[in-house]
Structure 1
Amino acid sequence: MKPFIFITRKLPQTVIEPLNQEFRVEMWEKEDVPVPRDILLEKATGASALITMLSDKVDTELLENAPSLKVVANLAVGYDNIDLKAAKQKGVAICNTPDVLTDTTADLTFCLLMAAARRIVEADRYIKEGKWKSWSPLLLAGTDIHHKTIGIVGMGSIGEAVAKRAKGFDMNILYHNRSRKPEAEKSLGASYVSLDELLDQSDFVVVLAPLTAETEGLFQKEQFLAMKKSAFFINAARGPIVNEEALAEALETGEIAGAGLDVFTNEPISSEHPLLSFDNVVALPHIASSSTETRIGMMNLCVQNIHAVLNGDKPKTEV
């Protein structure tokens, strides 16, 4: 019998056609609804490979009940939804989709920064709601981006790509990372600083760090109090890095000027969430890598990884 592959979200047939030629493939057919846990567990029991989303937990329970599983291809660069230790013990290869989404994610991150600073969403809503009656000198006046200081928390490939964009705006670039990046410092003029220094000096604090035991809950009330009152907080990494209650309080009390958020602790976020009540918050539904070209590229990379492992070859992007 052909090896069985289960895909946890509907993907274009053109993407999965190479798998259909060699393997038995089944897909969860709903694009916008996560596969229910019980169905995922059921399908995993006979699967040789899974293509998963960030919303799918690949934990000990799943791995213990998937004796044929050889590879999990996660449609993301992050893999905090997967128990890597348990997967290693079971001999299951875990693959992600790095590099292919770097520039697309950096574009969206800088877009969030600009939208928050220049009040783009507010202005769009203002005109569409018929509120624009005349030109006035400080109508929806925002904050300049050029020549300001950007502080990047997490200087991986996406962080460096954001710094490259900031350089084009003549921004002063600070970064905090678990290790220094001398080449980035040289090519981008970035300066390595402590987190405290970054918070104190930055006009825009941009979070691009992975979600780990060290970064979970990194931003609390203390961190927002350390920021400039004129500063903006941008998060395009993972929601749990931030205490959302502390962020909402900082916005409510004016401790920071605004925020641009692509990620949240619980996704999808409720429309009643306090963070969505602020005009100075730009909120997006976790779409940093969501360009057609990039998402298709990510899907193709997942397919290539699965094809390689099931044919006895080394995967292209194993975690």
Structure 2
Amino acid sequence: MSQAIPSLPARPRLVGSQDMPPMVAARIEAEFEAPALPLVMLSPDQLLEAALAHRPEALLVTSGTSVPAALIHALPDCVRQVATVSVGFDHIDRRALQDRGIILTNTPDVLTDCNADLTFMLILGACRRATEYAAVIRSGWGRPLGMTELLGIQVTGKTLGIVGMGRIGRAVARRARGFGMQVLYHNRTRLPPELEQEAIFVSDLDAMLPRCQVLSLHVPGGPNTNTLIGTRQLALLPDRAVLVNAARGSLLDEDALFAALDSGRLSAAGLDVFRNEPSIDIRFLDHPKLFLTPHVGSATMETRTAMGLRALDNIASIHAGNGPLDLVA
């Protein structure tokens, strides 16, 4: 009598909200049951429609994909996980997920260095007036610059204040040491000495701000940090300080920022994130003291690939009964 051959377990089922780098897309095709990834990011309504049609175990989304309560409560019971290809998760209604018993995972660690690199690009670009230099070149240049024209701020030797000394904040501090910068940091709790690496902890943000010639923000978005930096905080910075934000646009009062730039209180700012992205305030479009990038902190092929693969690792692990690798508590 022939012995029955055990059937292989079904592949994990997922629905993705947008396209992914080639290695990620190839793995989805090889190891998962999924409809073709959309070339244009799905709206919440479209994401729900896809979930109802394909009945996945997991939704694979990105930081640009809103996952509101209305979508979550309408999801079919088969959905057990939302895997976001990001560290931040303020685009997802966590309470609604908890109400439904749906697991949320993210992708920490793999984008730390990439975001820290971009942060330092913002610091250098803002301090050295990169926007204005590029405008001179694109206008044809045409004459030698005078000895006092377009003078920037030297980064080397300045004092850098970091708000939020998590993985990315610590990676920025490591880069700052290569420029001979003194690093101060404000955090909910002081780090152990081996993680501080000579950075100086300041428990009171207001006490740190007057010492920061460059201030860089690295805390998550959400109600607890909304408008963390406004008129009062900007007034505490020393004259001609530089502000950098590669974390979340909600941290910064943009009206206060423009007032500080226009008054000369701030020398410049470098921003990768905005309150109303991608439809940003038109004042950002031609302000000479701003060095801007369009929320691209993780935008390298290596990092986006690693993020996508880590999200798939989380989906595969839950499908196999091993639990999430990167559970958002």
TM-score range, shorter chain: over 0.9
In the TM superposition, residue 87 of structure 1 has moved relative to its aligned partner by: 1.5
In the TM superposition, residue 143 of structure 1 has moved relative to its aligned partner by: 0.4
Flag structure 2 segments of 5+ consecutive residues without an equivalent. Answer: 1-9
2:289 pairs with 1:291: no
- Aligned identity (percent) is 35
Flag structure 1 segments of 5+ consecutive residues without an equivalent. Answer: none
2:177 pairs with 1:167: yes
> What is the distance in 2 between the residues matched to 1:276 and 1:194?
34
> What is the distance in 1 between the residues matched to 2:68 and 2:36?
20
Q: Amino acid of the residue matched to residue 84 of structure 1?
A: R
Query: In 2, are the aligned partners of 1:8 and 1:27 still within 8 Å (CA)?
Result: no
In the TM superposition, residue 163 of structure 1 has moved relative to its aligned partner by: 0.6
Q: State the SS of the aligned residue for 2:86.
A: coil
In the TM superposition, residue 73 of structure 1 has moved relative to its aligned partner by: 1.0
Q: Structure 1 98/73 Cα, relative in aligned 2: closer, same or farther at 3 Å?
A: same
Query: In 2, are the aligned partners of 1:150 and 1:171 still within 8 Å (CA)?
Result: yes
2:209 pairs with 1:202: no
2:302 pairs with 1:278: no
Query: In 2, are the aligned partners of 1:44 and 1:65 still within 8 Å (CA)?
Result: no
2:270 pairs with 1:260: yes
Matched with 1:79 is 89
Matched with 1:50 is 59
Q: Amino acid of the residue matched to residue 303 of structure 1?
A: L
- Of the three residues 61, 67, 70, the one matched with 2:80 is 70
Q: State the SS of the aligned residue for 1:260.
A: strand
In the TM superposition, residue 229 of structure 1 has moved relative to its aligned partner by: 2.1
Deviations 1:92-136 (A, max 9, x none): 111111100101100110110011001123212212211341143
Query: In 2, are the aligned partners of 1:41 and 1:62 still within 8 Å (CA)?
Result: yes
Q: State the SS of the aligned residue for 1:155.
A: coil
With normalisation by structure 2, the TM-score equals 0.90
With normalisation by structure 1, the TM-score equals 0.93
Deviations 1:10-56 (A, max 9, x none): 114531333334432124422xx431232112123322111101122
Matched with 1:6 is 15
Aligned-CA RMSD value:
1.8
Q: Amino acid of the residue matched to residue 70 of structure 2?
A: E
> What is the distance in 1 between the residues matched to 2:267 and 2:145?
24
Q: Structure 1 228/27 Cα, relative in aligned 2: closer, same or farther at 3 Å?
A: farther
- Of the three residues 26, 37, 46, the one matched with 1:39 is 46
**Aligned pairs, number:** 316
Within a 5 Å distance, the mapping from 1:212-251 to structure 2 comes to 212-251=222-261
Query: In 2, are the aligned partners of 1:238 and 1:263 still within 8 Å (CA)?
Result: yes
Matched with 1:123 is 133
Matched with 1:88 is 98
Query: In 1, are the aligned partners of 2:67 and 2:92 still within 8 Å (CA)?
Result: yes
Q: Structure 1 258/13 Cα, relative in aligned 2: closer, same or farther at 3 Å?
A: closer
In the TM superposition, residue 219 of structure 1 has moved relative to its aligned partner by: 1.3
Q: Amino acid of the residue matched to residue 236 of structure 2?
A: A
- Of the three residues 305, 310, 318, the one matched with 2:314 is 305
Query: In 2, are the aligned partners of 1:44 and 1:62 still within 8 Å (CA)?
Result: no
Query: In 1, are the aligned partners of 2:43 and 2:65 still within 8 Å (CA)?
Result: no
Query: In 1, are the aligned partners of 2:15 and 2:51 still within 8 Å (CA)?
Result: yes
In the TM superposition, residue 185 of structure 1 has moved relative to its aligned partner by: 6.3
Segment of structure 1 superposing worse, 62-71 or 132-141: 132-141
Q: State the SS of the aligned residue for 2:266.
A: coil
Segment of structure 1 superposing worse, 95-104 or 40-49: 40-49
Q: Structure 1 228/132 Cα, relative in aligned 2: closer, same or farther at 3 Å?
A: farther
> What is the distance in 1 between the residues matched to 2:149 and 2:22?
48
Mark the structure with the bigger radius of gyration: 2
